[in-house]
Amino acid sequence: MTANDFFQVGLYLAVLLVLVKPVGHYMAQVFAETPNRVNRFGARAESLLYRLSGIRADEDMSWKRYAIAMLAFNVAGLAVVYILQRTQQWLPLNPQHFGAITPDSAMNTAVSFASNTNWQGYGGESTMSYFTQAIGLAVQNFLSAATGIAVLIAVIRGFSRRGAAAVGNFWVDMTRATLYVLIPFSLVIALLLVSQGVVQNVSAYVDVATLQHGQQTLPMGPAASQIAIKMLGTNGGGFFNANSAHPFENPTPFSNFVEMLAIFLVPASLCYTFGSMVGDRRQGWALLATMLLIFVPLTLGLVAAEQAGNPALHGLAIDAQASATQAGGNMEGKETRFGIAASGLFAAITTAASCGAVNAAHDSLTPLGGLVPMWLMQLGEVIFGGVGSGLYGMLAFAVVAVFIAGLMVGRTPEYLGKKIEAHEMKMASLAVLIPCALVVICTAIAVMTPAGIAGVSNPGAHGFSEILYAVSSASNNNGSAFGGLSANTPFWNVLLAICMFLARFPLAIAMLAMAGSLAAKGHVPETAGTLPTHTPLFVTLLACVVIVVGALTFLPALALGPIAEQLMSATGH
C-alpha cells in the first residue's frame, strides 16, 4: 500500500468518528420518550400527519402489533412500486416514453426497494421513467430506511424498559425517522452533490456531438435528490446503470468522499444513540469498536490486494508499482478520477454497510480483493450494516456472545441488565442464521439449475464467484452487483426476490419478538459474576463470534470461488 492509500482511509475514518457523537446524540433526542428541544421542533407537523392518517400517536404497541404494522406498511409500499412500474407508460414525467416493466422484473424491483436492498436487474436510464424513479423508488428509499431505524428503536426499548408490555409506536418511530433524520440530512447531501455537478432536473435526454464527430445521448433526471437518500439510507440503487461510477452521479473526488461518508453516517452514529438510550454510552462505543475491529483490517486488505495488482500478471515483467506517473496495481474496472484507494474503500464501505452502491466494477477486483466485499456481506451485514438493521443484527450477535460467555462460566447470561433465556436465544439465532441459510441454499439451487448458470459470463471459479456474490448480496439486503451475471431473467428475478424478502422481514420480526420479551423483564442487578459488555475483552469476544460464524459457514464456498481463483492466478492459470 502507498502512503496515499493510508492517508485516504485514515482521513475517512477520522471524519466519520468526529461526526458519530453529535449525530448520535441528535438521534437519541429524536426518539426520546420525553419531550425535548429536538422532537418538539416538528411537533405540529407530526400532529397534523397523525390526524390526517388517523393514527393514535399515544398508543404503545406490543411487539406483535408493532410487527404487523411494520409488515403491512412495507407490503403496501411493495405493491405501489410494482403497480407504478407496470403502468409507467400511462403516467406523467416519461419524456423518453419508456414502456411497462416485465412482471418478473417489476416484482423483483418492488421487493428490492421495499426491503432496503435496491438490487437492480435493469438499467435505470434505459428503463425507468422519472415518475417511477421519483415517486416509487426514491420514496421507498426513505421508507425502507426509516423502517430499519424504527425496528432498531423498538429493540433498544426492549433493552431499556422494565416490566413493560409494549415497545413503542411504529407509526411515530417511522414518522420521526423520516422527518427529523432522513429528510434534513438528505437535503444537505443533495445540495453538496449538486454543487459538484450531479444532475437534478426533469429534462429530456440531450444529444451532443463528440470529439470524434459522432453523437452521444446524455441522460438527465432528478438524480441528486435520489442519490442523497440512496447513500444516507444505505439503499444503493443507482439512478443510472453505472451507479456511483457514472459522472452524473459521482463526478469528483469530493462527491465521492461525501457519498462514502453518507453511507456510514447513520449506522455508525446509531451506536452512540443505542448507548445513550440504554443509559450506558460505553455499550454503544463497544459495539462501534467491534465493527471497526473487523472493518479496518478487511478494508486495508482489500486496498492492498488491489494495489499489489493482478497476480496473473506478476510473471510478465510489467511495471505495476505506483509512481508519479501511474497508479500502479490493478486499475481494471476503476475510474481514474478515484483511483485504487477511493475505489477499494468505497467497495468495502458499501458492502459492509448494506448499501450496494458501487463506484468500480467489483467483477474486476483481484480474487482476494473481491473476497473482502463478498465476506463483509456474508458476515450478516452487521459491520455497520444497513440503517437500523445493521445494529439490531449486531445486537443479535451480542446476545449470542454473552450466551457463549455464560456457558463458559456456568452462569445465566445477562446483557444490559436483562437475563438472556431460551426465547431470546431462539430469536437471536434465527436472526443470525436466516441470511446464512439463504445464501448457502439458494447458491446451491442456482449452480444446479440450467437457468441459474445460463447467465454466467465466465466459466470456472470466477463464474461461481459471480453466482455466490449475487445470492450473498440479495440474502443480506446489500444490493451491490459483482457484474458478469445476466440476472434480469425470470429465474434470477424470482430467486433473488425471495432471498431479499426473507432476509428482511422474518429477521426484523424475530428481533421485535426478542424486544418484546426483554421489555417485559425486570432489571437484574450487576454482581461480581456479571460479564462487563463494554470492555476490550467483550469487544474481542463479539468480533470473534461474528467472524467464526462467517468463517465456518462460508469458507467452503469461498474456497471454490475467490480462493481457488487466487491460487490459479498465482500459478499462471
User: Tens digit of pLDDT for each residue in 124-182?
Assistant: 788 889 899 889 998 999 999 999 999 999 999 999 999 989 999 999 999 999 999 99
DSSP string, 334-377: B-TTTHHHHHHHHHHHHHHTT----SB-GGGS-HHHHHHHHHHH
Q: Scanning the structure block, which residue is given the C-alpha cell 438527465?
A: 220
Tell me: pLDDT of 539 over 90: yes
User: Residue 228: which residues within 8 A CB-CB, separation 6 or more?
Assistant: 186, 187, 189, 190, 193, 262
Residue 355 cell numbers, joined: 448499501
C-alpha to C-alpha distance for 27 and 21, rounded to whole angstroms: 10
CA distance 130 to 7: 39
Which pLDDT score is estimated for 37?
Answer: 83
How is residue 257 written as a grid cell?
Answer: 468522499
Structural element, H or E, at residue 560: none
Higher pLDDT, 319 or 14: 14
- What stretch of H or E contains 212? none
Which residues, at least 6 apart from 281, have a Cβ–Cβ distance to it below 8 Å?
A: 272, 275
- Beta partners for residue 217, in sequence order: 207
DSSP 8-state symbol, 179 = I
Q: Report the pLDDT value the prediction gives residue 40, as an integer from 0 to 100.
A: 81
Kindly state whether residue 212 falls inside one of the protein's structural domains: no
According to DSSP, the residues that pair with 418 across neighbouring strands are: 415
Mean pLDDT across 529-552: 89
Helices (H) and strands (E) in the chain, counts: 22, 4
Closest CA to 175 of 80, 41, 50, 26: 50
Q: What is the pTM of this model?
A: 0.93
pLDDT in tens, 83-120: 999 999 999 988 888 999 999 999 999 999 999 998 88
Among candidates 365, 327, 336, 394, which has minimal Cα distance to 480?
365
Report yes or no: 122 and 482 within 8 Å, Cβ to Cβ: no
Q: Is the dihedral of CA 332, 337, 340, 343 positive or negative?
A: negative
Q: What one-character DSSP code corresponds to residue 100?
A: P
Q: CA–CA separation, 227 vs 230, rounded Å?
A: 5
Q: Which residues of 217-230 are buried (b: 16+ CB within 10 A; e: fewer)?
A: eebbbbbbbbbbbb
Q: Are 232 and 144 in contact (CB under 8 A)?
A: no
pLDDT at 341 over 70: yes
pLDDT of residue 324: 79
Q: To 10 degrees, the CA torsion angle through 183, 188, 194, 200?
A: 10
Mean pLDDT, rounded, for 508-535: 90
Determine the structural domain holding residue 394 and report its residue range.
387-571
Q: What percent of the chain has pLDDT over 90?
A: 63
For the chain, the average pLDDT equals 91
Q: What is the DSSP letter of 5?
A: H
pLDDT of residue 388: 92
Task: Assess if residue 222 is contained within a domain.
Answer: no
Per-residue pLDDT, 325: 81
183 part of a folded domain: no
Spatial CA neighbour of 246 closest among 220, 277, 266:
220
Give the pLDDT band (50/70/90) at residue 491: very high
Asked whether 13 and 5 are in contact (CB, 8 A), the reply is no
Q: Is 500 helix (H, G, I), strand (E, B) or coil?
A: helix
Q: pLDDT tens digits, residue range 218-267?
A: 988 888 988 999 999 988 888 888 888 999 999 999 999 999 999 999 99
How many degrees, rounded to 5, is the angle at CA 543 between CA 539 and CA 547?
Answer: 175
Residue 271 CA to residue 282 CA, distance in Å, equals 10
Angle 339-352/367-378 helices, nearest 10 degrees? 20
Residue type, 552: L
Q: Write phi, then psi, for 68 (nearest 5 degrees).
A: -65, -45
Residue 429 lies in a domain: yes
Residue 59 in any domain: the answer is no
Q: Closest Cα to residue 396, out of 255, 265, 226, 510?
A: 510
* β 215-218/206-209 pair status: antiparallel
Asked if residue 545 is part of any domain, the answer here is: yes
pLDDT band with cut points at 50, 70 and 90 for residue 573: low
- Name the percent of the chain in helix, strand, coil, to the closest 5: 65, 5, 30
Neighbours of 543 (CB within 10 A): 19
Integer Cα distance of 144 and 233 in angstroms: 8
For the segment 22-40, the average pLDDT, to the nearest whole number, is 89
pLDDT of residue 571: 77
Q: What is the pLDDT of residue 529?
A: 77
pLDDT (tens digit, 9 = 90+) per residue, 432-450?
A: 999 999 999 999 999 999 9
Chain segment 505-517, per-residue pLDDT in tens:
999 999 999 999 9
Integer Rg of the chain from CA? 23
Task: Flag whether 452 is in a domain.
Answer: yes
Give mean pLDDT, residues 398-407: 91
Q: How far apart are CA 453 and CA 467, in angstroms?
A: 8
CA 447, CA 456: separation in Å to the nearest integer? 10
Q: Is the pLDDT of residue 288 over 90?
A: yes
Contact 2, 152 (CB under 8 A): no
Q: At 296, list the grid cell.
A: 479496518
Domain count of the fold of the chain: 1
Extended beta strands in 213-309, E state: 215-218
Answer yes or no: is pLDDT of 329 > 70. yes
Dist. CA 119–CA 136, nearest whole Å? 15
Q: How far is 420 from 377, CA to CA, in rounded Å?
A: 27
The per-residue pLDDT for 85 is 94
44 Cβ neighbours under 8 A, 6+ residues apart: none
Torsion angle (degrees, nearest 10) of CA 436, 440, 442, 443: 130
Q: Give residue 379's identity as a one-letter amino acid code.
A: L
Instruction: Give the three-class secondary structure for 395.
Output: helix
Yes or no: say if 439 and 476 are a contact pair by the CB < 8 Å rule. Answer: yes
pLDDT of residue 321: 81
For residues 427 and 475, give the distance between their C-alpha atoms in angstroms, rounded to a whole number.
Answer: 18
Average pLDDT over residues 207-217: 89
